[in-house]
């Protein structure tokens, strides 16, 4: 587990980009010595603050027999901190719950269900020390790699000059040239018999309909210009006869 890579959308960052990453890189965390098995234990986060252990046990007992349910509470107030751990007696039941609880909602709150990572992954740092998975943009601490925020491919941003040239090359100012280009593209596309031929006919009919609409608009605009020119010539003839 690398806090710097966990805070990156694609794992390619080379420098810390927020204070949480600095805290995680400088933190010295030792997981508590507990007897629960990591491959049998699930982490459950974003729970309602008024949620209790018996309610959490009732939600997950339908996937299999439970060994223990532990809800994390504030050491001073005793209130729930919104996350806990559920340990199953059998590994198959834990795997079944992990698959089925993706996107599960409790009292209208979408929760996070993932494997317990404190003892499962070397170098794991909890979120309160700047590590962890997931996170929200509002908190200024985004983490990637878990089910809540998956890894993404690098975003390639083209320069403004190259994108402008590409757009100018593919832009047609004349509608007739645009229709011709569409017809040429569809004619070069190989189609199969049956459904492909029907699709091709629909495309051809659409192109022909657009051509008819364009011709109709062009004829109307030409007639309008001719009428305006005739009226202008008529007015000029009247003024000249009076003089």
Residue-wise pLDDT for 192-232, tens only, equals: 444 455 566 666 666 667 667 767 777 777 777 777 777 76
- pLDDT value of residue 179: 44
When pLDDT is cut at 50, 70 and 90, the band that residue 238 belongs to is low
Q: Say if 20 falls within a structural domain.
A: no
Q: Give the domain-ending residue among 99, 122, 145.
A: 122
- pLDDT value of residue 135: 75
Residue range of the domain that includes 94: 30-122
Q: Which residue has the higher pLDDT, 154 or 174?
A: 154
Q: Say if 58 falls within a structural domain.
A: yes
* CATH label of the domain that carries residue 41: 3.30.70.330
* Partners of 112 in the β-ladder: 45
Q: Give the domain-ending residue among 122, 147, 173.
A: 122
- pLDDT value of residue 229: 72
Contact in structure between 21 and 11 (CB atoms under 8 Å): no
Same domain, 179 and 116: no
Greatest C-alpha distance within the chain: 114
- pLDDT value of residue 171: 42
- For the stretch 44-85, pLDDT in tens is 988 998 999 999 999 999 999 999 999 999 889 889 999 999
Q: What is the DSSP string of 216-233?
A: HHHHHHHHHHHHHHHHHH
Same domain, 49 and 111: yes
Same domain, 109 and 164: no
- pLDDT value of residue 187: 46
Strands, E, within the chain: which ranges? 41-45, 66-73, 80-88, 105-106, 109-110, 112-115
Q: Say if 68 falls within a structural domain.
A: yes
Q: What is the DSSP string of 182-193?
A: HHHHHHHS---T
| Number of separate domains in the chain | 2
Same domain, 170 and 101: no
Same domain, 66 and 118: yes
Helix axes 175-188, 195-242, angle to 10 degrees: 160
19 pLDDT exceeds 50?
yes
- pLDDT value of residue 147: 82
Same domain, 102 and 170: no
- How far is it, in rounded angstroms, from Cα 72 to Cα 149? 23
178 pLDDT exceeds 70?
no
Q: Say if 21 falls within a structural domain.
A: no
Same domain, 34 and 89: yes
Question: What is the token pair recorded at 190?
Answer: 């190989």
- pLDDT value of residue 109: 80
Same domain, 117 and 181: no
Q: Say if 91 falls within a structural domain.
A: yes
Q: Which residue has the higher pLDDT, 75 or 188?
A: 75
Q: Say if 41 falls within a structural domain.
A: yes
Same domain, 215 and 168: yes
- For the stretch 101-158, pLDDT in tens is 888 888 888 898 999 988 888 888 988 888 888 777 777 778 888 887 888 877 677 7
Q: Say if 15 falls within a structural domain.
A: no
Is 113 exposed, middle or buried, given 0-12, 13-18 or 19+ CB atoms closer than 10 A? buried
- How far is it, in rounded angstroms, from Cα 5 to Cα 194? 51
Over residues 21-27, mean pLDDT: 90
Residue 205's region, left for phi above 0, alpha for psi from -120 to 50, else beta, is alpha
Q: Give the domain-ending residue among 122, 148, 180.
A: 122
- pLDDT value of residue 148: 79
Q: Say if 87 falls within a structural domain.
A: yes
């Amino acid at each position: 587990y690398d806090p710097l890579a966990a805070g990156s959308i694609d794992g390619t960052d080379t420098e810390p980009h927020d204070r949480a990453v600095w805290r995680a890189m400088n933190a010295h965390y030792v997981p508590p010595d507990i007897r629960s098995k990591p491959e049998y234990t699930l982490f459950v986060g974003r729970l309602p603050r008024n949620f209790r252990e018996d309610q959490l046990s009732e939600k997950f007992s339908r996937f299999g027999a439970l060994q223990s349910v532990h809800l994390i509470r504030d050491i001073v107030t005793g209130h729930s901190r919104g996350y806990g751990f559920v340990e199953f007696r059998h590994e198959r039941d834990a795997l079944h719950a992990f698959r089925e609880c993706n996107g599960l909602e409790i009292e209208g709150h979408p929760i996070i269900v993932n494997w317990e990572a404190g003892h499962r992954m070397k170098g794991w740092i909890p979120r309160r020390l700047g590590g962890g998975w997931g996170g929200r943009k509002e908190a200024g601490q985004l983490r990637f790699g878990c089910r809540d925020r998956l890894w993404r491919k690098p975003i390639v941003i083209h320069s403004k000059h190259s994108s402008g040239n590409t757009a100018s090359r593919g832009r047609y100012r004349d509608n007739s040239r645009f229709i011709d280009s569409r017809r040429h593209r569809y004619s070069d596309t190989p189609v199969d018999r049956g459904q492909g031929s029907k699709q091709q006919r629909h495309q051809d009919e659409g192109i022909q309909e657009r051509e008819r609409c364009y011709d109709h608009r062009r004829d109307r605009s030409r007639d309008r210009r001719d009428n305006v020119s005739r009226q202008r010539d008529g007015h000029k003839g009247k003024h000249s006869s009076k003089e």
